[in-house]
Every structure is written in C-alpha cells, then in structure tokens.
Amino acid sequence: MEGRWVQLKDYTVYLDRKIGAGGQAPVYVAYKGKNKYAAKCIPNKTVKHLLDNELLIFRKNKTHKNVIRIIDFCEWEEGKSAWIFMEYCKYGSLKDFCRNNPRYFSNNRVKLDIILQISAGLKFLHELNLIHRDIKPSNILLTEEDGQMVVKIADFGVSKQASGTSTRTIVGTIQFLAPEFWPLNENLDPVQRKYNEKIDIFAVGLTFLAMIQNSCVDQVLLPKIKGLKKSQESLAIGQLMYMRKVDGDTPLSVVSVEHDDDDFTNLIKTIIIECTRIEPQERISAEHIYQKLTSLAVQQVTFFYHIFGVLHIGIYYFKADWILVVGMLSNFSFPKSSTSFPKAALRKLDVQRM
C-alpha cells in the first residue's frame, strides 16, 4: 500500500488514513497481516492520563461484546508517541451512522437494539466499578459481527476507577455533563463536587434523547419550556437543571410522554426521564435500564410468535403448538443482537468509511 505508514510491533499504521481527528489523540487505520485495526496515537506524556485510562479495562483482563476491545499497546519510547491498538468498527460512530443511514436509523427496532446494546455495555462497566465519564454519540461505535449489528462503547480517555471518594476534576463534554458538575468554574462552587457512576446515566439518557430526536450529533435539543429566557436557550441541559434548582424553579423534564406515542417511544421516554433526574441517587441504574429494555424486546418477540402461532393454528392445527413452544423457548436466549444490516443501505457507508 502507498502513503505514509509506520511499523509498530506487528502493526502497520497508515498515517494517511485518519478515522478520528478528535481532541488530543488521532485514530488511524492499522493492519496486522490481513486484519484491520484502529490505532490511537497518544502524542506525549503531557496527556499520559489518556493512555492510563484507556488501559483500565485492558489491565482488568475483562471483555464485553459491547465495549471496545483493546488488543495491544506500546508505551512511549524516547521521542516517540504511545499507541493503543483496538478492534476496528467499520461503520464508525453512532453520529456517523445516523447521518449516513437516516432511514434505517429511524426504525424503532434498530434503535431498540442499539439502546439495548449500549445499556449492556454500560452495565458491564459499572459492574467493574468503572465510570466512563464521556458517554455521547461520537463515543459509541458500530460494527458488524457475523452479519449482525454490534454496538461498542469506546473512548476511555477520561474514564475513571470509582473509588467512593469525591473528586472535583471536570471532565466530559459540556452538552452531556450532569447537573452535579455545574457550575464549571471551581472557584464559584462552594459545595464539594461529588459524583459517581450516575454521571454516565445522565449522559446515556441524553444520548438516547439524541437518538429519538434522530440527530445523534453530540448535541441535544432543549425541550420547550414555558418562560425560558432567550439567553438560557443555548445552555447545556445539565447546566439549566442546576440553575433551576438554585433558583427554586420546578425540576426540568427533558421529554414529555405523549398519549399517541407507540410502546417503544413511551418506554424510551420514560427511561430518559429516569436517567436525567437532577438528583443522582434518583436516577435509574444501568442494570435497570437493561432489564426494562429486555422485557420490551421479549414482549415483541412473544407477540410475534403468538401471531405466527395463531396463524398456523388455522392452517395446520398441530404444528401451531410446536411453533409456539419454539417461540417461547427462544425467548430464553434473548436478548441477542437482532438487527441485520441492510447491505444496500450500508454500501454507501462502506465507500465513505473504508
């Protein structure tokens, strides 16, 4: 292959093929033999925490299908950068995916599958006592494994091992920051800024909100609130919540559950409300989000098999029971990723990403 490249361990990193130009650590395409990987460059020791944080899970030696897997890394050598090698997600971030496949993305089943997988990944992280601290659409990646869509939580650059103690470090992306982080100027904050894994829950709630708004950029639209001043419209949701609390205003609800919403939208909206409560201890846990979503997914499958079974009762009589039994049994193996990629929809994306 042509172009600028660098050989690191067994990996050839193509410096002309940048796939992520975010903040301080660019991401490039790399190959080890025929296999494709993503290589993240940590330029120097002034951002040493980026490497340490990314390696938190790697060092725990635990993996999960819905969390990006770091395969290898190299530390700094004299005058060189440090690198992390991870599995390559061929469809890029949720942000890219939503932008490139708006019609596919607007399907509720696809969204349910994505949201379910994000929750499974977050549940795993929180069980390991890891706080991600920067959950947002551009840090959720999508790929395909055995013909199924697989979602992965990525970018652990600012993640943290929960210690039970408070910390005042300001991290994350302003639009997704929970109310307990505001105001940002530490000198203005007389209260000890305490947080726990519930900051991820707040951010994941806003990520789901971005998904139902069909936007998925790292920005969420504020709900329409009576009496909101023009100057407040550009505020981050967490900031606005914090200000309303200080002013003694009624707590802000980021969505309203409408009468004519379908089951899926209603459930997601309820989950979003439970994720974005102003008091961290009142927010739902990742485990509960996962449980609620699983029950909706199971209901849908059961419904499908009932319809299918009833149709067969009319036609074949005896076969119906078997179909129902198989249908019921298959519920026990749920959830598994159920969304296959429509190849035609993704062809366009392949051109852009590969």
Ligand X SMILES: Nc1ncnc2c1ncn2[C@@H]1O[C@H](COP(=O)(O)OP(=O)(O)O)[C@@H](O)[C@H]1O
Chain residues that interact with ligand X, rule: CB under 6 A = 19-20, 22-23, 25, 27, 38, 40, 68, 86, 88-89, 92-93, 96, 138-139, 141, 154-155, 157
Could you tell me the two tokens for 239? 């900031």
74 DSSP β-pair partners = 83
Q: Count the Cβ atoms, other than its own, within 10 Å of residue 322.
A: 12
Q: What angle do CA 151, 154, 160 make, to 5 degrees?
A: 135
Q: Which amino acid is at 44?
A: N
Q: Which of 216, 219, 214 is CA-nearest to residue 236?
A: 219
By CB under 5 A, the residues from 34 to 73 that bind Mg ion are none
Name the binder of 119 from ligand X, Mg ion, none, CB < 5-8 A by kind. Answer: none
User: In the complex, what is the shortest distance from the CB of residue 152 to ligand X, in angstroms, rounded to a whole number?
Assistant: 8
Smaller CB separation from ligand X, 136 or 244: 136
Name the binder of 20 from Mg ion, ligand X, none, CB < 5-8 A by kind. Answer: ligand X
Smaller CB separation from ligand X, 27 or 116: 27
Name the binder of 86 from Mg ion, ligand X, none, CB < 5-8 A by kind. Answer: ligand X
User: In the complex, what is the shortest distance from the CB of residue 65 to ligand X, in angstroms, rounded to a whole number?
Assistant: 14
By CB under 5 A, the residues from 2 to 41 that bind Mg ion are 22
Separation CA 110–CA 285 (nearest Å): 23
Smaller CB separation from Mg ion, 67 or 240: 67
Which residue is at the shortest CB distance from ligand X?
A: 20
Name the binder of 23 from Mg ion, ligand X, none, CB < 5-8 A by kind. Answer: ligand X
User: In the complex, what is the shortest distance from the CB of residue 64 to Mg ion, in angstroms, rounded to a whole number?
Assistant: 19
Could you tell me the two tokens for 113? 């599958």
Could you tell me the two tokens for 119? 């929750």
Q: What angle do CA 116, 349, 113 make, to 5 degrees?
A: 10
Separation CA 180–CA 167 (nearest Å): 11
Could you tell me the two tokens for 92? 């890029």
Smaller CB separation from Mg ion, 64 or 136: 136
Q: How many residues does the chain have?
A: 354
Q: Count the Cβ atoms, other than its own, within 10 Å of residue 1.
A: 9
Smaller CB separation from Mg ion, 100 or 139: 139
Helices (H), the chain: 48-60, 94-100, 102-105, 108-127, 198-212, 237-247, 263-275, 286-316, 318-332, 343-353
Smaller CB separation from Mg ion, 152 or 277: 152
User: In the complex, what is the shortest distance from the CB of residue 99 to ligand X, in angstroms, rounded to a whole number?
Assistant: 11
> Residues 6 or more apart from 263 whose CB is under 8 A from it?
296, 299
Mode of pairing for the β-strands spanning 140-145 and 130-131: unpaired
Name the binder of 204 from ligand X, Mg ion, none, CB < 5-8 A by kind. Answer: none
User: In the complex, what is the shortest distance from the CB of residue 155 to ligand X, in angstroms, rounded to a whole number?
Assistant: 3
Q: By CB under 5 A, name the one of 54, 87, 113, 155 that touches Mg ion.
A: 155
Name the binder of 89 from ligand X, Mg ion, none, CB < 5-8 A by kind. Answer: ligand X
Write the interaction track for Mg ion spanning residues 91-130; mark x where CB under 5 A is met and - where it is not: ----------------------------------------
Smaller CB separation from ligand X, 53 or 276: 53
Smaller CB separation from ligand X, 217 or 228: 217
Name the binder of 141 from ligand X, Mg ion, none, CB < 5-8 A by kind. Answer: ligand X
Name the binder of 183 from ligand X, Mg ion, none, CB < 5-8 A by kind. Answer: none
Q: Is the peptide bond before 26 cis (omega within 30 degrees of 0)?
A: no
Total of chain residues touching Mg ion, rule CB under 5 A: 3
Which residue is at the shortest CB distance from Mg ion?
A: 155
Could you tell me the two tokens for 142? 């999508």
Label residues 191-215 b or e (16+ Cβ within 10 Å = b).
eebebbbbbbbbbbbbbbbbbbeeb
Binding site for Mg ion (CB under 5 A): 22, 139, 155
